[in-house]
Chain A
């Protein structure tokens, strides 16, 4: 389980994941916040629909894609959690358009 080295949340921000309200520390990325809340599945893979979760946390692997406030394909490890954000598991990853 992920834990905060500093136990208290000092500047709370409230987000929602699949309808569940989660308090997180300001400045945390969406991915870090959800991992700290014990969430592991962020999206379903495009082909077999297997569960996937963050792998690299530095914007390289695109395994952390979620839907944020209705917009799909958002990279949870690169986006800071903001008050009131509504996050959902991403159902199908984007397809490439131009090659």
Chain B
């Protein structure tokens, strides 16, 4: 088995920046990522995107080009199409390569840079074909130049408006934007404005985006509640209340978004401690000032450490690499301080955004008849009933109902299940905690499992 000073999971801005900084400090580095190319979520397909598509995606996206090029040249071993499915306490890492078999490597330090996922958005009809996340539409645009001419966007958050702007630029404006942000949020968020003003360029970009969307004539529906998707076999309409009226928009495609949350599969697998972040409405791994988890030599960089955006993701990646190098005897303190200062400045916008775009209450605590676990088709009402019968936490609800036992392994229901239980038992969410995550992180073919011990390690050096 090959071994490295540092193993980095994820080749988004955090993972790429971390690899560049670590190799610069003489460490041997391997980067594993399940996508076919580097970039992560924000810079997906950055190396191959056409000029036409690049113009649609905008300058923030194109900023990833230089980072990806520097990453390619940094000397790290990069394995694409590599899905990490287990890591043990000794930092032995198993990954499968696009169904081709499984390999194992080991490392002294681990950097988890697996980013964020979109927050699950349970509501009536959200399992109908034709309903996707807003991020899914953006992935189709970035990686495939695919756009849909019949989309109603529903939800809240910066990414929703970014996707709308990109669709507009591609000349396929969404049919309507149904905003679930409750009234009065702006007033609540206003107290964070002074700090946000120190990150003025973010504010300016956000305002410009909204102005452009409003000017385009796309219908906006504010403060939407009681949102549901209708359809028998596929999505046919979105219904909701807004401005004191009931609305129904016929459409074949609905895209949902309620912000992003850290992807916690690997930190949970490794039994790192997590805390509930009430501002971001999600679990965040407990980290020290240098982004080390409660387990020695395991670090989290990027949005997995709490949502901070792409610029902070790269800064966190660099900081972690500098810290690891310091532990191996390099003098990196001055550079760490420099990065810490930049990080603090870049985070100034966050409290404002978190308050303004906090997720919709009806998504966080869905009504009894709403399906929460898509794989096993378990409703919010069934979960509440299981709690009434004595299930105190997610793992008991799981064994009562099979909730979270399907192929997605709880990724789509876990956050909601925890919040429903906490609310129903009138407990703190952090106290209720989360599903216990076990390997494999993704379902494996039997052949892959069988191959683990016997197969020699294969690598594709850059």
Q: Determine the chain A residues whose CB is within 8 A of the CB of B442 once the complex forms.
A: 59
**Partner of A1 from B136, B149, B377 at Cβ < 8 Å:** B149
Residue of A nearest to B409 (CB): A96
Contact code string B134-146 (vs A, CB < 8 Å = 1, else 0): 0110011101111
A31 and B412 CA atoms in complex are apart in Å by 19
Output the residue of A4, A28, A40, A52 with the most chain B CB within 10 A.
Answer: A40
Q: Determine if B411 is an interface residue (Cβ-Cβ < 8 Å).
A: yes
B172 touching A46, Cβ below 8 Å: no
**Partner of A3 from B133, B172, B376 at Cβ < 8 Å:** B172
Chain A residues touching B, majority SS: loop
Q: Determine if B148 is an interface residue (Cβ-Cβ < 8 Å).
A: yes
Contact code string A25-47 (vs B, CB < 8 Å = 1, else 0): 10111001001100011100111
B144 touching A73, Cβ below 8 Å: no
A25 and B41 CA atoms in complex are apart in Å by 22
A73 touching B407, Cβ below 8 Å: yes
A58 touching B146, Cβ below 8 Å: no
**Partner of B405 from A6, A60, A96 at Cβ < 8 Å:** A96
**Partner of B375 from A28, A56, A74, A93 at Cβ < 8 Å:** A93
A1 touching B144, Cβ below 8 Å: no
A56 touching B136, Cβ below 8 Å: yes
B133 touching A27, Cβ below 8 Å: no
Output the residue of B53, B141, B376 with the most chain A CB within 10 A.
Answer: B376
**Given A60-B412, A93-B375; A27-B129 close (CB under 8 Å):** no
A25 and B408 CA atoms in complex are apart in Å by 28
A5 and B166 CA atoms in complex are apart in Å by 12
Q: Determine the chain B residues whose CB is within 8 A of the CB of A66 once the complex forms.
A: none
Q: Determine the chain B residues whose CB is within 8 A of the CB of A42 once the complex forms.
A: 129
Q: Would you give 28 A-B contacts (Cβ < 8 Å), ordered by A?
A: A2-B146, A5-B53, A5-B141, A29-B144, A32-B143, A35-B140, A36-B146, A41-B129, A41-B234, A46-B375, A50-B127, A52-B127, A52-B374, A53-B129, A53-B130, A55-B133, A56-B118, A56-B135, A58-B136, A60-B411, A60-B412, A62-B406, A63-B374, A73-B443, A74-B99, A93-B406, A98-B438, A99-B405
Interface of A toward B, CB cutoff 8 Å: 1-6, 25, 27-29, 32, 35-36, 40-42, 45-48, 50-63, 65, 71, 73-74, 78-80, 93-94, 96, 98-99
Q: A32-B144, A62-B408, A73-B443 are in contact. List 17 more A-B contacts (CB 8 A).
A: A1-B149, A1-B150, A2-B140, A35-B146, A45-B377, A46-B377, A55-B132, A55-B136, A56-B132, A56-B135, A57-B139, A60-B118, A60-B412, A61-B374, A74-B99, A78-B34, A99-B438
